[in-house]
Copies of this chain bind each other. A is one copy, B any other.
């Protein structure tokens, strides 16, 4: 993909997120991209390979990590959608940065270790200050987790 990741377009001083910040070397550094931008459907994608210690029980991935990935893919997707709605380039100023208002995750099947996970995001609501992203997480093509992120535009008080 020749796109810049949504999270890599965050301003430097807002790029310390443990889940996806490029300036957090100890973090997961999740990176989200546009997958489809058709007229009927816009989808976003992220891929992630858990570390061997990200276990729930042996052979299965820790649910808290999966919730974290959904969280960051959701707020990242919201940011990208906000730029798109403003018809401006990803990363242009003023920054469009979102925080999580609510995160709802449903575990459908145990997520196996040792394979690349794929997260696909779709938008069920997109307003200036509130964007809802529905996410499906699959492993080897099997749906393991679904999630919804209600993303809220970051208050100015958190950006200073």
A30 to B71, CA, bound (A): 21
Tell me which residues from 57 to 75 in chain A have a Cβ below 8 Å from any Cβ of chain B.
Answer: 57-58, 60, 62-65, 67-69, 71-72
A110 within 8 A of B: yes
Tell me if A43 is interfacial: C-beta within 8 Å of chain B.
no
**What DSSP secondary structure best describes chain A's contact surface?**
mixed
Q: Does the CB pair A57–B16 fall under 8 Å?
A: yes
Residues of A within 8 A of B (CB): 13-14, 16-19, 21, 24, 26-27, 51, 53-58, 60, 62-65, 67-69, 71-72, 99-107, 110, 154, 158-159
CB distance from A20 to the nearest CB of B (A): 9
- In the complex, the answer to whether A102 meets B104 with C-beta atoms within 8 Å is yes
B58:A19 contact, CB within 8 angstroms: no
Q: How far is the CA of A31 from the CA of B23 in the complex (A)?
A: 30
Q: A16-B56, A67-B67 known; 11 other A-B pairs, CB under 8 Å?
A: A14-B57, A18-B53, A19-B62, A57-B159, A64-B64, A64-B67, A64-B68, A101-B106, A102-B106, A103-B105, A110-B158
Sample 23 A-B pairs with CB under 8 A, ordered by A number: A17-B56, A17-B57, A18-B55, A18-B56, A19-B62, A24-B53, A24-B55, A26-B51, A26-B53, A56-B99, A62-B68, A63-B71, A63-B103, A64-B71, A67-B67, A68-B68, A99-B107, A101-B107, A102-B105, A102-B106, A103-B103, A104-B104, A110-B158
